[in-house]
Amino acid sequence: MSFAEIFDRPRLAAIVCGATATGLGLAWMAAAGAPTRMLAVNAAALAIGLMLLPALDALLGERSRLRGIALLAMAGILCATAFLGTPVEGATRWISVGSLVIQPGMIVLPLLVCAQARRPDRTTTAALLLAVTATALQPDRALAGMALAGIAAIALIKTERTTYGLLAVAGVAFAITMLFPDRQGAMPYVDQILRTAFDVDLLAGAAVWAGSAILLVPACVAMRAKTETRAVACAFAAVWAAAILAALLGNYPTPLVGYSGSAVLGYVLSLSQFPGRKASRSTDRSEAEIRAQDDETSMLPLAALA
């Protein structure tokens, strides 16, 4: 398959970009002397995410009866983390699973924002509202900023009162996180990577910055498709651009190119809201036909997306 054919399919393009960014991050971590365990976690997160995509397609498809329940359950995990998670320096954003420390918000929030962009029904809106509230409870400026940016991008495409209401709540949540001092120190191979990448060497620094830029390429590809897909693309780009900006300005995980299995998994799982079909500029087909084709595609194994 040629590069032109790959980048004519939004989800496949995103998978290629995500895998490339993760690979560049692994190269930087290896050059910087990161423990082998960190490299293994990021690589495993990428593999697990890709394996989960087909199941997530079926669970969150347009015709799935469990879609709303699944999204609410994801938001519930994010809320529970604020109360039952592992507290560190006044923030409760993580849960411990054995020797691993996971940040559920980085896994769940991007998917919920993209789900709202794709199909803004009552349960999807309620789930995102819960997730946004959780960002203020934790508190997590980066996550709240990602939610605010993603919802603002949706509002530019879909001018609905529900979206504006969510935008207002997200703005309040972000303002609340700004009221609390963020005392988290920089973690090696996780935070401040964009600022320090060139301290290793020129090639390693270039790999980190190139990997971060590659993360936003899929959104540019998906912009060619119909309005529904453009909304997902805008939300996706805004969420991950905000994550990159937060990593540049503060002590927050650098998506995919730094050590954070949660960010890798969150990036891949949010691709479940991208269509697997070929991007199209045509406007002749009805929305029902497009959704039917999306559902049909989502049931295929991951290999069939190529």
Instruction: Say if residue 8 is exposed, middle or buried (CB neighbours under 10 Å; 0-12, 13-18, 19+).
Output: middle
Task: Give the global pTM.
Answer: 0.86
pLDDT reported for residue 279: 46
The token duo for 230 is: 């453009």
pLDDT reported for residue 304: 30
At position 121, the amino acid (one-letter code) is D
| Helix 141-157 and helix 122-137, axial crossing angle in degrees, nearest 10 | 150
> Considering only CA atoms, which of 267, 217, 231 is closest in space to residue 111?
267
pLDDT reported for residue 19: 95
Element (H, E) at 218: helix 217-222
Instruction: Round to whole Å and give the CA distance between 85 and 215.
Output: 29
The dihedral of CA 157, 306, 48, 298: what is its sign?
positive
What are the Cα distances from residue 270, in Å, to 42, 44, 235?
16, 17, 10
At position 124, the amino acid (one-letter code) is T
Q: Among the residues of 138-197, which ranges form H helices? A: 141-157, 161-179, 193-196
The answer to whether 39 and 29 are in contact (CB under 8 A) is yes
pLDDT reported for residue 56: 92
**Which residues of the chain fall below pLDDT 70?**
1-8, 222-228, 276-306
Instruction: Round to whole Å and give the CA distance between 256 and 34.
Output: 14
> Considering only CA atoms, which of 275, 272, 270 is closest in space to residue 109?
270
Instruction: Round to whole Å and give the CA distance between 134 and 115.
Output: 17
pLDDT reported for residue 274: 82
pLDDT reported for residue 158: 83
pLDDT reported for residue 228: 64
pLDDT reported for residue 297: 38
